[in-house]
Amino acid sequence: MNRIAAFALAATIGLGSMTAMADDNVKKNDAARDKQPVCCLQGITLTEKQKAEIAALQASRQKELQARRDQRDK
Protein backbone atom coordinates (compact mmCIF):
# COMPACT_ATOMS: atom_id res chain seq x y z
CA MET A 1 0.00 0.00 0.00
CA ASN A 2 2.84 2.36 0.84
CA ARG A 3 4.44 1.68 -2.54
CA ILE A 4 1.24 2.61 -4.36
CA ALA A 5 0.92 5.86 -2.38
CA ALA A 6 4.58 6.70 -3.00
CA PHE A 7 4.21 6.02 -6.72
CA ALA A 8 1.07 8.14 -6.94
CA LEU A 9 2.80 10.99 -5.14
CA ALA A 10 5.87 10.78 -7.38
CA ALA A 11 3.71 10.68 -10.51
CA THR A 12 1.72 13.70 -9.38
CA ILE A 13 4.85 15.72 -8.64
CA GLY A 14 6.48 14.66 -11.91
CA LEU A 15 3.46 15.57 -14.02
CA GLY A 16 3.12 18.91 -12.27
CA SER A 17 6.72 19.85 -12.93
CA MET A 18 6.49 18.80 -16.60
CA THR A 19 3.39 20.95 -17.05
CA ALA A 20 5.13 23.93 -15.47
CA MET A 21 8.15 23.51 -17.76
CA ALA A 22 5.89 23.29 -20.83
CA ASP A 23 4.10 26.49 -19.81
CA ASP A 24 7.46 28.27 -19.43
CA ASN A 25 8.52 27.16 -22.92
CA VAL A 26 5.27 28.48 -24.43
CA LYS A 27 5.77 31.84 -22.74
CA LYS A 28 9.38 32.05 -23.96
CA ASN A 29 8.36 31.21 -27.53
CA ASP A 30 5.58 33.81 -27.48
CA ALA A 31 7.98 36.47 -26.20
CA ALA A 32 10.57 35.63 -28.86
CA ARG A 33 7.97 35.75 -31.62
CA ASP A 34 6.74 39.16 -30.44
CA LYS A 35 10.28 40.57 -30.69
CA GLN A 36 10.77 39.50 -34.31
CA PRO A 37 10.30 42.21 -36.92
CA VAL A 38 7.21 41.98 -39.08
CA CYS A 39 9.28 42.08 -42.25
CA CYS A 40 13.02 41.97 -42.64
CA LEU A 41 12.79 44.49 -45.50
CA GLN A 42 10.68 47.00 -43.59
CA GLY A 43 12.03 50.52 -44.06
CA ILE A 44 14.19 49.56 -47.05
CA THR A 45 13.47 51.14 -50.41
CA LEU A 46 13.75 48.72 -53.33
CA THR A 47 13.63 49.31 -57.04
CA GLU A 48 10.95 47.60 -59.10
CA LYS A 49 13.56 45.21 -60.44
CA GLN A 50 14.64 44.26 -56.90
CA LYS A 51 11.01 43.77 -55.86
CA ALA A 52 10.47 41.46 -58.83
CA GLU A 53 13.61 39.49 -57.96
CA ILE A 54 12.45 39.03 -54.38
CA ALA A 55 9.01 37.94 -55.55
CA ALA A 56 10.63 35.41 -57.89
CA LEU A 57 12.81 34.09 -55.07
CA GLN A 58 9.80 33.74 -52.79
CA ALA A 59 7.81 31.92 -55.48
CA SER A 60 10.73 29.59 -56.13
CA ARG A 61 11.07 28.86 -52.44
CA GLN A 62 7.34 28.14 -52.14
CA LYS A 63 7.52 25.68 -55.03
CA GLU A 64 10.52 23.97 -53.43
CA LEU A 65 8.72 23.68 -50.09
CA GLN A 66 5.59 22.32 -51.75
CA ALA A 67 7.65 19.73 -53.63
CA ARG A 68 9.22 18.62 -50.35
CA ARG A 69 5.79 18.36 -48.72
CA ASP A 70 4.51 16.32 -51.63
CA GLN A 71 7.54 14.02 -51.45
CA ARG A 72 7.12 13.61 -47.70
CA ASP A 73 3.42 12.76 -48.05
CA LYS A 74 4.06 9.96 -50.55
C-alpha distances (whole Å) from 50 to each of 43, 45, 53 are 15, 10, 5
Q: Is the pLDDT of residue 66 over 70?
A: yes
Residues 6+ apart with CB under 8 A from 54: 41, 46
Per-residue pLDDT band for 3 (boundaries 50, 70, 90) equals confident
Q: Is the pLDDT of residue 16 over 70?
A: no
Which of the pair, 45 or 8, is modelled with greater confidence? 45
Task: Please state the domain extents for the chain.
Answer: 1-36, 40-74
Average of per-residue pLDDT across 52-64 = 93
